[in-house]
Structure 1
Amino acid sequence: MPLLRQEPPARIDSLDDLLGIAMALETEAVRRYAQLAEVMDRRGDAATAATFRTLMAEEGAHVTAVDRWAADLGCTLPGGTPFDWLLPPDIAESWDDLLDRTRLTPYQALSLAVVNEQRAFAFYSHIAAATADPAVRRHAEALAQEELNHAALLRRERRRAYHRGATGTQKPERIASPAALDHLARTLFAAAAAGHAALARQLAAAGDAEGAAVLAAIAAAEAAEAGTVPPAPPADGSRTDGGAADPWMAAAAAVETLAERFADIAAAATDEAVLTRALALQESATRHLVRLSGAHSPPRPSTP
C-alpha cells in the first residue's frame, strides 16, 4: 500500500515552488514536534520529550537552511502559508489523530513520526519523478534524502522507547522472515475483519447505515489483506445479540491493537525485509484508524 493516498496535486517545475513547499513542510514539522514534546512532558517522559525537542531544533535549522538555500539560488520565498494546500493531507490527519489520543505512549508517537518522515520522503520523490526541470529534480531528491535521514534517527529512538517500555519478562516479538510475518498478518487481519464485520452488523441493527458501511468497508479491506472471503455486508434492521457498548470505540481499539502489533514487530526486527514489510502493514492499519476517526469524530463542546 503506498505511503500517500494521492500524489501532489500539481506538477512542480520551479525552484520557487519547491522551496516554498519545503519551507511549509519544515515549519509544520517544527510545530508538530513542539506539540509532541509538550505532550510527553505532561506524561512525565522527559527522555522522549527531549528527543522531540532535538528534532524540533533540527527542523528549525532546516527552516533556516531552506531560507538560506533560497537566497543562494536567487529565489524569493513568500510569506504566510501559500503552499500548505500542496502538502500531503495524510501527514496532518495522522498528527491530529495521534494528538487526540488520551493514552499516547512514547513508542506510538515515535512510530507515527517515522511514518510521516517516510511520507515526506515519498512526497519529494513524487515531485522529483514528475518534474520536467532538472534543477527541481536534483533538489527534490536531496530533500527526500534528508527525510530518510530523519526517519533513521527516529527509528533508533523508537527502539529505545520500545525497550524502556518493556517490563518484567516481556520479550520483543521477533519474526524470522517476511513469509512468517505474512502468515501472522493473514491471521491477524482475518480476526480483525471478523470483528469489524460484527460491529458493522451491530451499527446496522441500531439504524446507523452510514457507520455500518464504513466498518463493513474496513472489514472487507482487512479480509483482502488476509486473503479470505469478505464478510457478508450488514443488513439494515438485522438483529444482534449483545455487542459492544460503543461499537466505534471497539472498532478503533481493534485497529490500534493491530497497528501497534506490527509496530512492535518492526521495532524488534533484525531483518531489513521484515522491517519494511512490518512498516507497510502498520501503515495499512493506520489508514483504517484515520478513516474511523474521520467517520466518527466525537462532538466538540460549544464555546459561548
Structure 2
Amino acid sequence: MPLLRHEPQGGVRSLDELLGIALALEQEAVRRYTQLAALMDQRGETDTATTFRALIAEEQDHVQAVDGWAHSLGRPTPDAPAFLWRLPPELASSWEELTERTRLTPYQALSLAVVNEQRAFAFYSYIAASATDEPVRTHAEALAREELRHAALLRRERRKAFRRERGWVEHKPTRADTPTELERLAVALLSATAAEHSALAGRLLALGDGDGAALLARIAEEEQALIPPGYSVEVSQAAVPDTAPACLRAAVAASERLAEAFGDVAAQATDELVLTEALRLQEAVVGHLARLAERSDARR
C-alpha cells in the first residue's frame, strides 16, 4: 500500500505544532511497540521482543528529548493527546489490524513496524517540504532522518526473522566505512537494480502493461541518475518473469534489496558523510517502493 494515502492537511506553521506532533508520534510508538513486545513474549519470540524493547527505550529517550527541546525553546511540554488527530490515520489503522490477528509471526510484526517507520519518515518529509518557517523545516528533516534510521534497524531484524522462519543462514550485512567505499557500493547496486528494472519494464511493455512499463522505466532512469557521472550501467543478466504480476513482484524485491543494503550501511555508519549519503539513497529507494506499491494496489 502507499506509505501515506494523503498529504498532511493544513501544514505545520510553528515549532509548537511540530513539537506537539513529534511528542504524540513518539508516545504512540512507545505504546504500540510495548504491545508488540508483549505479544512476542507471549509467543516465545524473545529475540523479536528484545528488538521491540530496545526501540521502546529509544522512543522513550526521544520523548524526553522532545520535552527537553521544548524547554530549551522556552515552551511548555506539549499536550501530546491534543495532537493525535494530526498523525497519519494509516498508522493507527495498521497497528490495530496487526494486533487483532490471532496469529502473528515475528516477520509480520517487524514488517508492519518497518512500514510505519517509513510512514513516519514520509509524514515528516511532507511537513518539511511544505514548511514556510525555516526552523520547522530543519527540525522536520532531522526527525525524518531519525525515522529512516529506525526503519534501517527494523529491516535488518525483519530479514533475520524471515531467514529464521525458513531455516536460512543469515548473511553478513552490507557495509561501507568510507565515502569512497559507499560510492563504489552504490554504483554497483544502483547499476544492477536499474538494469533489472529496465529489463522488467521491457517485459511489461511486451505483455501490454504500458503504465507499469512506464513506471519501471522512470524508476530505472532515477536510479541511473543517482549514479555519479562517469560510470556506465550494466546490462541485466537476471531472468525476467513471464507475467505482469510476477514482474511487479520482482521489481519490488529488487528495490527492497536496495533499500535494505543502504539501510545496513546507515545503521553501521561511523562516518557522518557515509550516514548522510546512505540515508539520502535509502530515501530515494523508499520513494520508489511507495510508487510500486501504489501500482500493485491499482491492479487489484
Candidates 95, 104, 107, aligned match of 2:107: 104
- Partner Cα distance (1:193, 1:149) in 2: 27
User: Aligned partners of 1:194, 1:153: CA distance in 2, in Å?
Assistant: 29
The 2-side partners of 1:171 and 1:217 are apart by 31
2-structure distance, mates of 1:287, 1:262: 14
* AA at the equivalent of 2:292: L
Q: Aligned residue for 1:236?
A: none
Aligned length: 266
Amino acid at match of 1:193: A
Offset of residue 115 of structure 1:
6.2
Are the aligned partners of 2:191 and 2:223 in contact in 1 as well (CA < 8 Å)?
yes
- Corresponding residue for residue 207 of structure 2: 206
Aligned counterparts of 2:269 and 2:207: Cα–Cα separation in 1: 43
Q: Give the drift of 1:293.
A: 0.9
Instruction: Specify whether residues 80 and 174 from structure 1 end up closer, same or farther in structure 2 by C-alpha distance, changes over 3 A only.
Output: closer
Q: Which amino acid aligns with 1:296?
A: S
Aligned twin of 1:187: 188
Give, as a single letter, the amino acid of the residue that structure 2 aligns with 1:224. Answer: A
Q: Cα deviations across residues 109-128 of structure 1 (Å, max 9, x unaligned)?
A: 78777767766776787798
Equivalent residue, structure 1, for 2:86: 83
- Looking at structure 2, the residues matched to 280 and 52 of structure 1 have their Cα atoms a distance apart, in angstroms, of 25
Distance of aligned partners of 1:244 and 1:223 in 2 relative to their CA distance in 1, 3 Å threshold? farther
Deviations 1:163-220 (A, max 9, x none): 9989979555442421221122122212211111111121112211111121111111
User: How high is the TM-score relative to the length of structure 2?
Assistant: 0.60
How far is 1:230 from its partner?
Answer: 8.9
| Aligned-residue RMSD, C-alpha | 5.4
Q: More deviation in 5-14 or 23-32?
A: 5-14
CA distance in 2, matches of 1:34, 1:25: 14
In 2, Cα distance between equivalents of 1:14 and 1:274: 29
State how far apart, in whole Å, the 2-side matches of 1:144 and 1:219 are: 26
Distance 1:296 1:162 in 2: 22
Distance 2:26 2:297 in 1: 28
Alignment of 1:281-300 (within 5 A): 281-297=281-297
Secondary structure of the residue aligned to 2:297 is: coil
Matched with 2:258 is 258
Partner of 1:12: 13
Q: Which segments of 5 or more consecutive residues in structure 2 lack a partner in the other structure?
A: 99-104
User: 1:201, 1:254 → 2: CA distance?
Assistant: 16
> How far, CA to CA, are the matches of 2:39 and 2:297 in structure 1?
21
Aligned to 1:215: 216
Give the letter for the 2:291 counterpart: R
Deviation for aligned residue 1:248: 0.9
Deviation at 1:78, TM superposition (A): 7.4
* Change beyond 3 A, Cα 1:265–1:105: farther
What is the CA–CA distance in structure 1 between the aligned matches of 2:171 and 2:123, rounded to whole Å?
A: 34
Shift of 1:130: 0.5
User: Match for residue 130 of structure 1?
Assistant: 133
Opposite residue 249 of structure 1, the aligned amino acid is R
What whole-Å deviation, never above 9, does each CA across 1:199-248 have from its counterpart, x for those lacking one? Answer: 112111221111112111111111111256899xxxxxxxxx96345101
2:249 aligned counterpart, secondary structure = helix
Paired residues of 1:193 and 1:223 also in contact (CA < 8 A): yes
Taking a change above 3 Å as real, the CA distance of residues 52 and 229 of structure 1, as seen in their structure-2 partners, is same
Bigger shift: residues 278-287 or 102-111: 102-111
Highest Rg: 1 or 2? 1
Does the CA-based 8 Å contact 1:159-1:268 persist in structure 2? Answer: no
- The one-letter code of the counterpart of 1:52 is F
In structure 2, the CA distance between the partners of 1:160 and 1:299, relative to structure 1 (3 Å rule), is: closer
Q: 2:194 is paired with a residue of what secondary structure?
A: helix
Output the CA distance in 2 between the equivalents of 1:76 and 1:187: 48
For residue 107 of structure 2, give the secondary structure of its aligned residue in structure 1: coil
- Name the CA shift for 1:79/1:185 in 2 (closer, same or farther; >3 Å): closer
The residue matched to 1:175 in structure 2 has which SS? coil
2:241 paired residue among 231, 240, 243:
243
Q: Which runs of 5+ in 1 are unaligned?
A: 132-136, 232-240
Distance between the aligned counterparts of 1:74 and 1:279, measured in 2?
Answer: 30
Identity %: 36
Q: 1:192, 1:230 → 2: CA distance?
A: 9
Q: Could you say which structure has the greater relative contact order, defined with CA pairs below 8 angstroms and 6 or more residues apart? A: 2
Q: Deviations over 1:248-293 (max 9, x none)?
A: 1111111111112222233343433223322222222222112111
Shift of 1:83: 2.0
